[in-house]
């Protein structure tokens, strides 16, 4: 079986954070709304989601479950009470967890939703194929990074840069598997 590609989508402030210190996602809302077409296009090729426990809890606390019935994996070493339909909770090595998620998928790629801690574990395991960044014109002044504690360096190759609505910039990178990218 061919493993589905893993695409890490994240929205980042000008000073390089994906969330402010309190972790809330309210600052993102106007940009997510303005960029909804871009999100819909990405969703069209998505077959499943994966996220870390903190991001999952943030989503639940904010009362929004954006993931419908997509097969969704929440990584944690703790129990999770009454997850929404389609959500599976696991711990352990990212590759083994992804293989289980892949077995539940019927099509598409895996959208790595974050946060940065989980993304760094995936990066270190060589599991991120594409990195889709939306840079928004906001300075948060502190917070959570897109890769928290990655062992790096890991190279990426730029595939696309585009202007988005509300002064956003979309950047698509692919992992530099050959190590031949920018030197």
Return residues touching ligand NAP (CB under 6 A).
10-11, 18-19, 23, 25, 28, 51-55, 58, 75-78, 91-92, 94, 113-118, 121, 144, 148
Enter the DSSP assignment of 15.
Answer: T
Q: Looking at beta carbons, which residue is closest to ligand NAP? A: 115
Enter the DSSP assignment of 86.
Answer: T
What is the closest distance, in whole angstroms, from the C-beta atom of residue 5 to ligand NAP in the complex?
19
* Cross-strand partners of 161: 171
Nearest of 118, 130, 182, 114 to residue 153 by alpha carbon: 182
Which residues does 37 contact at the CB level (< 8 Å), separation at least 6? none
Pick the closer one to ligand NAP by CB: 10 or 46.
10
Whole-number Å distance between alpha carbons of 127 and 39: 22
What is the closest distance, in whole angstroms, from the C-beta atom of residue 51 to ligand NAP in the complex?
6
Pick the closer one to ligand NAP by CB: 18 or 101.
18
What is the closest distance, in whole angstroms, from the C-beta atom of residue 151 to ligand NAP in the complex?
14
């Amino acid at each position: 079986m061919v493993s589905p590609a893993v695409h890490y989508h994240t929205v980042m402030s000008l000073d390089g954070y994906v969330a402010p210190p309190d972790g809330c996602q309210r600052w993102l809302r106007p940009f997510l709304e303005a960029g909804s077409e871009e999100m819909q296009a990405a969703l069209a090729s998505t077959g499943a989601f994966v996220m870390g426990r903190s991001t999952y809890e943030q989503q639940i606390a904010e009362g929004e479950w954006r993931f419908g019935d997509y097969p969704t994996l929440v990584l944690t070493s703790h129990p999770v009470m009454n997850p929404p339909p389609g959500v599976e909770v696991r711990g352990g090595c990212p590759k083994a967890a992804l293989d289980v998620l892949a077995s539940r998928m019927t099509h598409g790629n895996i959208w790595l939703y974050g946060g940065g801690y989980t993304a760094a574990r995936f990066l270190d395991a060589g599991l991120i194929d594409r990195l889709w960044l939306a840079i928004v014109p906001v300075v948060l002044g502190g917070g959570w990074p897109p890769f928290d504690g990655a062992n790096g360096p890991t190279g990426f190759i730029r595939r696309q840069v585009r202007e988005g609505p509300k002064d956003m910039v979309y950047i698509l990178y692919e992992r530099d598997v050959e190590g031949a990218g920018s030197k």
